[in-house]
Amino acid sequence: MNLVYVAPFGLAPKNTTKRRLLPMARAMAARGHHVRVVVPPYDDHASYGRVWTDAGVDVTCLAAPRLGGPAGPGAAFAQFSLARQALRRLAGWQPDLVHVFKPKAVSGLIQTGLWRRRHRPPLVLDTDDWEGREGWSVYEDYPPWLVWMFDRQERAGLRRCDAITAASRELADRARALPRPVPVLHLINGYDPGAYARWNSVSDRVAGRRALGLKADDRAALVYTRFFEYPIEHWARVIRGVAARAPDVRFIVLGAGKFGQEKDLAADLRVAGLADRVNFLGWVVFDDLAAILAAADVALLPMTDVRANRAKCSVKYVDLMMAGVPVVATPVGETTAYVIDGATGVLAADDSPEAMVAATVRGLDLSDRAALVAQARAHVMSVLTWERLTEPLVEIYQTLLDRRAPTPPLFDAGSSA
C-alpha cells in the first residue's frame, strides 16, 4: 500500500506527531508498505522545509507560508496556506489511502479539502482528544470564535471519513454512535522501542537521584502533570496528605501549567510548611527524562473523571513503566489499559484526593516493588507494541481498498488545491 499520514502539527512541543503518528507509520513501513508523512510545523518553525527518512518512513515538513502570522486572522491564513500546500503534495504522491490525525486546524482543513474531491483515496481519521466545547477546549483560553470553529471542525470531521481510529474508548464510542456507520478501531498509544533505546533504569536512577540531591534513604514521589487533568486544590491535598503519612518522602514536580498553575501549588505548599520537601523542575527535554523519572519511587498520574480526561490517552504511562517506576493513578479513561492494580501499578479507588493519598502510600510501601516493575515493563513490551496494536488497522486499510472502485487520479498534480 502507498500510504500518506497527515500530521496535525510539528514534532514538538506536543506529542501526537512524534509519539503516536510516527510510531504507527513505522509499524506500517516495517510491514513493507510505502509510508509518507506530511507535517505542517506551524508550532515548530525550525522544522519548516525539512525532509528526512525515519525507519523507512519518508517525512516531509511543509515549507513556511509566505504570508500569515502566529495569532488571529494571520494564523488562520497561514493554516489555510499550509493545507493548500499539503493537498498539492498529495496530488503528486497519488496515495492509495490517507490517514489524517486530528480533525481540526490544518489537518482538519486538509481532510475537508480531500473529502470534497470526487475522485479521492479512502480517508481514515485518527482522534486522540475530544477537541470541542465538551472536551479539550475547556482547558484552553481560546477565544469563543475559535472554540466554535474547532467544535464545528471536529463534528464535521467525524462525518467526513471512511474509518476512524480512536485513542480511547470514549472517542471510539462517540464514533460508533455517528449516524453514518464506518469501521472504528480503538487504538491506544503503544511502546516505541526507538524512544527507549538509551534508557537503563538502574544507571538512570543513580544519575537522577544524584542530580536531584536525594539521599539514599529518601523516598521520592513524582508529580507528573500539566495541571489540566487534576485540579491544583486536589494536588495540594494529595501532597499534604502523603507528606503527613510518610515523613521521609520528598516530592518532585515535573511539568508546568499553561497558566502558571505550578506557582499556585508552590504557594499553597509554602503555607503548609512543605516548601523544603518539594522540588519544582518544570519541563525537561526528552533526553533528560529517563533519569528524572527513574529517580522516583512512585509516580502520580491522577485524572478527574470528566470527558476530556476519559477521551485522552497519555504516553506517560509507557514512559514511566519503561523507566522502572510504579505508577499510581485514578481509574479514569485509558488509565486501566496500562495500570492493572497490584500487577503493573496501583489504582486509587476513585478520583478523590483522599483515594489518591491512600493509593500513593500503598505504592510507596510495596512489598515487592521489583516484581511489579518487571511485570509492568513486560506488559508494555509484549501487549502494547505498535506492531501488535496496528494489526487490525491493516485489516481496515485493506477492507477500504477492496471496496474502492478503480478511479482516476486524485486530482491533476499541476492544478491548484
pLDDT of residue 164: 99
The Cα 253–Cα 277 span in angstroms is 11
Q: Are residues 265 and 178 in the same domain?
A: no
Is 198 part of a structural domain of the chain? yes
pLDDT of residue 405: 65
Assess whether pLDDT exceeds 60 at residue 412: no
The Cα 19–Cα 374 span in angstroms is 23
Q: Are residues 139 and 17 in the same domain?
A: yes
Cβ distance 357 to 124 under 8 Å? no
Q: Where are the alpha helices (DSSP H) in 58-200?
A: 72-93, 105-115, 144-159, 169-176
pTM: 0.93
With bands split at pLDDT 50, 70 and 90, how would you rate the model's confidence at 415? very low
Question: Which DSSP helix (H) or strand (E) runs through 354?
Answer: helix 353-364
End-to-end CA distance of the chain: give it in Å, rounded: 24
The Cα 345–Cα 373 span in angstroms is 8
Q: Cis link prior to 179 (omega < 30° from 0)? A: no
The Cα 31–Cα 15 span in angstroms is 24
Q: What average pLDDT does the structure give for the chain? A: 94
Q: Are residues 170 and 315 in the same domain?
A: no
| Per-residue model confidence as pLDDT tens digits over 15-25 | 999 999 999 99
Q: Are residues 238 and 311 in the same domain?
A: yes
Q: Which residue has the cell 525537561?
A: 284
With bands split at pLDDT 50, 70 and 90, how would you rate the model's confidence at 409? low
Contacts of 240 (CB under 8 A, 6+ apart): 269, 272, 274
What is the residue-wise DSSP string for 321-339?
HHTT--EEE-S-TTHHHH-
Taken in order 254, 354, 310, 366, is the CA torsion positive or negative?
positive
Burial class (CB in 10 A: 0-12, 13-18, 19+), 66: exposed
Mean pLDDT of 197-202: 94
| Per-residue model confidence as pLDDT tens digits over 254-273 | 999 989 999 999 999 999 99
Q: Which residue has the cell 518553525?
A: 45
Q: Cell for 211?
A: 542530580
Domain with 126 in it: what CATH number? 3.40.50.2000
Q: Are residues 178 and 237 in the same domain?
A: no
Q: Are residues 218 and 93 in the same domain?
A: no
Domain boundaries, position 51: 2-190+385-403
Is 416 part of a structural domain of the chain? no
Assess whether pLDDT exceeds 50 at residue 6: yes
Mean pLDDT of 168-194: 97
- Residue 178's φ and ψ, nearest 5 degrees, are -65, 150
Q: Cell for 82?
A: 499550509
Assess whether pLDDT exceeds 50 at residue 75: yes
Q: Are residues 87 and 127 in the same domain?
A: yes
pLDDT of residue 385: 98
Q: Are residues 179 and 212 in the same domain?
A: no
Q: Are residues 78 and 11 in the same domain?
A: yes
| Per-residue model confidence as pLDDT tens digits over 79-125 | 999 999 999 999 999 999 999 999 999 999 999 999 999 899 999 99
Mean pLDDT of 359-386: 97
For 295, other C-beta atoms within 10 Å of its C-beta total 23
Cβ distance 297 to 205 under 8 Å? no
pLDDT of residue 12: 87
Is 215 part of a structural domain of the chain? yes
Q: Cell for 218?
A: 529518601
What is the edge-to-edge ordering of all strands in the sheet holding 327-329? 278-282, 249-254, 219-224, 298-301, 327-329, 346-347
Is 410 part of a structural domain of the chain? no
Q: Are residues 197 and 141 in the same domain?
A: no
Q: Which long-range contacts (CB under 8 A, 24 or more apart) does 60-64 make?
A: 60/36, 60/89, 61/10, 62/38, 62/86, 62/89
The total number of structural domains in the chain stands at: 2
Q: Which residue in 110, 131, 164 sits closest to 410, CA to CA?
A: 110
Is 85 part of a structural domain of the chain? yes
Is 411 part of a structural domain of the chain? no
With bands split at pLDDT 50, 70 and 90, how would you rate the model's confidence at 407? low
Q: Are residues 274 and 365 in the same domain?
A: yes
Cβ distance 332 to 304 under 8 Å? yes
Rg (CA), the chain: 22
* Cα–Cα separations (whole angstroms), residue 182 to 22, 158, 176, 178: 24, 10, 8, 8
Question: Which DSSP helix (H) or strand (E) runs through 11?
Answer: none
Angle (nearest 5°) at CA 200 between 195 and 203: 145
Q: Are residues 361 and 224 in the same domain?
A: yes
Is 156 part of a structural domain of the chain? yes
What DSSP state is assigned to residue 16? I
More confident residue, 137 or 27: 27
Side chain identity at residue 262, one-letter code: E
The Cα 135–Cα 126 span in angstroms is 16
Is 317 part of a structural domain of the chain? yes
